[in-house]
Each structure stands twice: as C-alpha cells, then as structure tokens.
C-alpha cells in the first residue's frame, strides 16, 4: 500500500530512489558507499528497490580530460559511454559488501512512450525485482538525442515509478528539502508537507541545481513529484546525505501525498 506518511516508509514494498549527478560524482563520489548502505538496509528488510542514478556524463568527464560538462551531443554521448560503465562498476563494488547484485537498465524516452518497448521494460524490471536484483536505471545518454530525451532524471524516476507501480519515490539531491524560496535566501522556509493537488502558490521554485554537472533543480523535482503522485506513489524530496534517515521514516525533507483516489500495489497501478 502507498505510504500515507513518512512513518510508513519502512513498510513500503516497492520504492524508487533517484540520485543526482552532483551527489555521486567528482568530490562526492564517496557518497556512493553511504547511499548503498541505506539501499541495502531497505533491500534486506524485503523492500524491492530500484535506483535511478544520474552521473554517467559527469563520471566520464575526467577520463575524457574535460573540465566542464560538454555542450555538444557527440561529446556528451562519448562521456556517457565511458562514465556509465564506471558508474555501475562503483555501485556493484559497493553492493558486493552485502551480496546484492545490480542490474543495469538504460532507457530512452521512446522506450516508455511506445507500447511494445514499454511492456518489455516493465516485464524486465518486474523480473529483476522478483529475482532480488537491484536495478540501476539511467537514461541511455549514449544514443539519446536533444530532441528525444527525458530532459532530466527526476522525470525519468517518476515515469519508472509509474511503470513498475512503486509505492514511494525518493528524490535525492544536495538540498535537504523543498523551500519557499531558494534556501540560500533570507526568509526561506522548509516545506514539510504538500497535499495532493497543492499548486504551491507563492513558492519561488528554482530551475537550476547548485552544482554544474546535473540538469535538474527544484522545479524538475516538483514536476516529477506531481507525476508520481498522480500515478499513486507518495514522494519524498531530501538530500543524498540523509537517505538512511529518509528510508527509515524520519521526519525530514518534503513529503508529497499520493492521489487519494489511487491504490498502488507492487507491479500494478489501478483506480481504487
């Protein structure tokens, strides 16, 4: 059943966790270990966990001797090709401590827009989870184009949550919650709870993240949260450093209620 509050998170059967590039690349690459610790703890209590991880391009940049994110498509694709391999290796190396096996799932926007590849993706994800594999999902940046792509992995995570009937979506970044204005500004206040359908009137939502390697910000997270909530998943937005507390059900971050007329069971999303 969809969690009704943070306290219900430890009882969720199927969850999607999304982490941004800035949280697990460059000087923050060391955060992969604590992130895996938290995911493994949820996995060990029987929760089916899917990780949507950005970071392929950012991880590949140093190996292409790039000091900043490339702007041309071909170099982005090259960086992603190198970085995706290294990123999954780093996750698996950390997961080995728990005897958990990762499965790589690379998706394009077209995969979820068309019935046949969408059905194939859903079947593969369901089977991986049934086999107790931890799927690591990313956009297939090596073949994606500017015209046909998800835009950011917050949206991808929301669509994956919808695809697999997840009960909870956790969106992680370098900010601990959603605020009434950019958190570095005076007078910014944490938004603890967003009822379903709340338009967040009067809230100044930024469109750019703090770091220069990602593509998302608060605006993309709010948009993703609304997609997932409409599909029947509760949503928590918080910082990557707080992921263990988040999955333990602590009162942190910003909570979005799921649509009240939706009932989500693992692998299926139907009207109540």
- The secondary element (H helix, E strand) that includes residue 86 is helix 73-95
Look up tokens 């790039």; give the residue.
66
- The secondary element (H helix, E strand) that includes residue 6 is none
Cα separation of 74 and 46, whole Å?
A: 41
pLDDT digits (tens, 9 = 90+) for 1-58: 899 999 999 999 999 999 999 899 889 999 999 999 999 999 999 999 999 999 999 9
Residue 271 clears pLDDT 90, i.e. is over it: no
Q: Which two tokens stand for residue 239?
A: 């910082």
Closest residue by Cα to residue 172 from 56, 48, 39: 39
Question: Between the CA of residue 93 and those of 90, 102, 225, what are the distances in Å?
Answer: 5, 10, 31
Cα separation of 204 and 189, whole Å?
A: 11
DSSP state of 135: E
* pLDDT value of position 269: 43
* pLDDT value of position 246: 98
pLDDT digits (tens, 9 = 90+) for 122-149: 999 999 999 999 999 999 888 876 544 6
DSSP state of 100: P
State the CB neighbour count (10 A cutoff) for residue 37: 14
Lowest mean pLDDT, pick from 60-69, 85-94, 216-225, 228-237: 216-225
pLDDT digits (tens, 9 = 90+) for 172-212: 999 999 999 988 889 999 999 999 999 888 788 765 444 44
Question: Between the CA of residue 47 and those of 12, 44, 266, what are the distances in Å?
Answer: 7, 7, 10
Closest residue by Cα to residue 143 from 95, 206, 200, 78: 78
Mean pLDDT of the chain: 89
* pLDDT value of position 217: 73
Name 150's Cβ contacts closer than 8 Å, sequence gap at least 6: 109, 139, 156, 159
The CA R_g of the chain, rounded to the nearest whole Å, is 17
Cα separation of 252 and 266, whole Å?
A: 25
Look up tokens 């079947």; give the residue.
123
pTM above 0.85, yes or no: yes
Closest residue by Cα to residue 70 from 56, 53, 89, 87: 56
Collapse the DSSP code of 137 into the 3-class scheme (helix H, G, I; strand E, B; otherwise coil) and give the result.
strand
Question: Between the CA of residue 156 and those of 73, 95, 146, 216, 264, what are the distances in Å?
Answer: 19, 23, 15, 11, 19
Dihedral pair phi/psi, residue 235, rounded to 5°: -135, 140
């Amino acid at each position: 059943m969809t969690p009704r509050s943070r306290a219900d998170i430890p009882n969720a059967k199927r969850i999607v966790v999304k982490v941004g590039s800035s949280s697990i690349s460059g000087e923050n690459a060391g955060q992969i270990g604590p992130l895996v610790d938290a995911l493994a703890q949820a996995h060990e209590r029987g929760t089916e966990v899917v990780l949507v991880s950005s970071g392929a391009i950012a991880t590949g940049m140093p190996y292409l001797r790039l000091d900043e994110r490339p702007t041309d498509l071909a170099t982005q694709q090259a960086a992603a090709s190198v970085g995706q391999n290294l990123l999954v290796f780093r996750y698996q190396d950390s997961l080995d401590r728990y005897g958990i096996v990762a499965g790589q799932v690379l998706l394009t926007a077209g995969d979820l827009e068309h019935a046949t590849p969408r059905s194939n993706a859903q079947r593969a994800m369901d089977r991986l989870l049934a086999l107790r594999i931890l799927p690591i999902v990313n956009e297939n940046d090596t073949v994606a184009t500017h015209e046909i792509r998800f835009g950011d992995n917050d949206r991808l995570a929301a669509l994956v949550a919808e695809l697999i009937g997840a009960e909870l979506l956790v969106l992680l970044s370098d900010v601990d919650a959603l605020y009434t204005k950019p958190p570095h500004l005076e007078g910014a206040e944490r938004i603890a709870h967003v009822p379903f359908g709340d338009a967040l009137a009067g809230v100044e939502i930024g469109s750019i993240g703090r770091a220069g390697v990602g593509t998302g910000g608060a605006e993309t997270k709010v948009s993703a949260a609304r997609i997932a909530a409409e599909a029947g998943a509760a949503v928590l937005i918080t910082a990557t450093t707080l992921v263990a507390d988040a999955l333990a059900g602590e009162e942190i971050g910003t909570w979005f209620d799921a649509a009240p007329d939706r009932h989500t069971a693992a692998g299926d999303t139907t009207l109540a």
